[in-house]
Amino acid sequence: MPRPQRITRIETVMEAVRARIIARSYVPGTRLPSVRAQAATLQVSVSTVVEAYARLTAEGLISPRPGAGFHVSGPVAPLALAGMDPPRDRQVDPLWLARQSLEHEPGMLKPGCGWLPEDWMYVEGIRRGLRSAARADAAALADYATPLGLPALRQLLARRLAGYAIDAAPEQIMLTESGSHAVDLICRFLLSPGDTVLVDDPCYFNFLALLKAHRVNVVGIPYTPTGPDVEAFSAALQAHSPRVYITNSGIHNPTGATLSPVTAHRLLSAADSSDLVIIEDDLFADFEHAPAPRLAAFDGLSRVIQVGSFSKTLSASVRCGFIVARGDWIEGLADLKIATSFGGGRLAADILLTALTASGYRRHVEAVRTRLASARDTTLARLAPLGIRPWVVPQAGMLLWCQLPDGVDAANIARRCLADGVVLAPGNAFSPSLAAAGFLRFNAAQAQDRRVFEVLARAMRG
């Protein structure tokens, strides 16, 4: 049997440079570290770096300039998010988790995904919306939407927001293609490469993937059962002068925790003397039995921008989200939306408006809340014999952030379970500091099949 080929030190240097080019840390024209500086950084000899740079020059990736060292040549490399720092095991990589959760292989169980099973969704309401849309005039079926989106849906959203003590006129609401599209637009609007963004630790894993694409510095703020650690938040404001903080308030992802009024007030007071903008992602609102505090309500939409969507309660197939912000920011965001997606689609908004305004939606949401309460109890009862305990018992929603027994690594468990057709969500996919190796996020609604726990028990036995 042939021996595995060893990577030479020269190849190690070359791969280090290639990785920086792929991640766009080195763009065309960037001067590379000098031969001596690179040798010291990578702890290799000067001659090793000289040879590595010579080979990279031969490949056309870099080029020497007399008296000015080596520079990156060629066009900007295609953005490869999976290859960007810090290196992660593919089982705990946010993009890996998203891809596995979105695959539709027959028989695959997905207690690690973040949405309801399809038979829990309001499919009948979507069918009703489709029938109504099919009878609409030609403009509704064929034309672009206005920049802010369907006025009737924005008026409905303004009334719904008032139930959370958020005072927003329809002109302060802009529809987007999804919640993720909303966050992306706001990041484009506010951020430049190299800016610092605060996120919760742990946080929704796709925030990390999205921020990586914007090439910003990410700083995690430890999350507690009542919200972010305010002392750590205040320290980060002083140390990093962040531009943006992204969080959930109503039902936190992945922990299921709820922001307390005291923490909300302390957080906004700490931010008061800074230029920080807070993005409050509120896509789980309809799962709450009673509204939790909202930063947007306490702040009056001064520095807080709220984001929502309908993918968790209505349909992930009919894509529509929204942004709620102060008027001058909505103007700039509308221009950016036009520049990046022109007018946007109208059909999804028409379908969702019909579904949301039918009496069946209220009954649907109430039934889902009841089913989720039962599913959370069942899931926790089945996890307990395995020594898996909740970090906090949520008041509402589908998410359970659970701690494994001491010494058990979530990524290893996920790897074993995947081989048996079960997709789990390891903790470090949600942690910018990679401090959650002993946690798994479970979706109670997706964990009702006993096979999930049979596979999990085998994986934990090794």
pLDDT tens-digit map of 122-131: 999 999 999 9
Q: Find residue 201's DSSP bridge partners.
A: 222
Q: How many CB atoms lie within 10 A of CB 460?
A: 17
Q: Which two tokens stand for residue 101?
A: 């959760």
pLDDT at 1: 38
Q: Which two tokens stand for residue 432?
A: 């910018």
d(C-alpha 202, C-alpha 222), whole Å? 7
d(C-alpha 198, C-alpha 195), whole Å? 10
pLDDT at 183: 97
Question: Residue 70: which of 121, 141, 21, 11 has the closest Cα?
Answer: 21
pLDDT at 71: 93
pLDDT tens-digit map of 175-203: 999 999 999 999 999 999 999 999 999 99
Q: Find residue 390's DSSP bridge partners.
A: 402
pLDDT at 83: 55
Within the chain, which residues score under 70 in pLDDT?
Answer: 1-6, 76-94, 96, 104
pLDDT at 92: 60
Please list, residue by residue across 367-381, b when 16 or more beta carbons sit within 10 angstroms of its beta carbon and e when fewer do.
ebeebbbebbeebbe
pLDDT at 23: 72
pLDDT at 4: 41
Q: What is the pLDDT of the chain when averaged over all its residues? A: 91
Q: Which two tokens stand for residue 99?
A: 């891809």
